[in-house]
Amino acid sequence: MSKNSDRFVTIGEASKLKGVSIDTLRRWEKEGKICAERTDGGHRRYKLSQLLDIKDERVRKTILYCRVSTHDQKKDLDIQSELLETYALPFNWDCETIKDMGSGLNYKKKGLQKLIELLMTDQVERLVITDKDRLLRFGYELIFSICEYQQVEVIILNKRVDTGFEEDLAKDVLEIITVFSARLYGSRSRRNLHLLEKLQAA
């Protein structure tokens, strides 16, 4: 064994190395799977060789994902979160709640990016959402495909009966108008404000 494997790493470094949470490392310590040395300041240090000896111990967790479009809907975001956590509670899953705020057309939301990263690094056992549109307005099938590939269970609490084409189209158009209205509000030009007035009238 190399000298490098005899060195000690911080709890943060150990978490990244093993792909588990800091809480999982502390649980392993309580269970006697690993031992931690303490610095003079009381910080944990783990021996690299011990960490490398732990095989296939990555803990896959349950992600509870909720999203709203605007800051005005923060109350709805809290309601979603509470509903998901209440549903998961009896199962005693290792859960993490991801709250997102932004349009269903925005693929760059921080929460969504974090969810994709967790999925791609095989850290998710199941994904629980209130409605498929909470992921994305368009393209949620892509997230479901990633879940299928990574053998992640998907639980949708509100499985509504499929709506008609006209109703779906109306919802999509409203979503697009909401996004572009926000962008137009961000620009102070008289021309954009005039366009916004026309959109609102329509």
| Cα-to-chain-centroid distance, residue 169 | 27
Q: What is the DSSP letter of 7?
A: S
How far, in whole angstroms, is CA 147 from its chain's centroid? 13
Residues 140-170: b if buried by 16+ CB within 10 A, e if exposed: beebbebbeebebeeeeeeeeeeeeeeeeee
145 part of the active site: no
DSSP single-letter state for residue 49: H
Catalytic residue among 69, 181, 187, 189: 69
Triad 56, 128, 59: Cα angle to 5°? 15
Q: Is 48 within 8 Å of 5 (Cβ atoms)?
A: yes
Residues 6+ apart with CB under 8 A from 90: none
Question: Which of the residues are catalytic?
Answer: 69
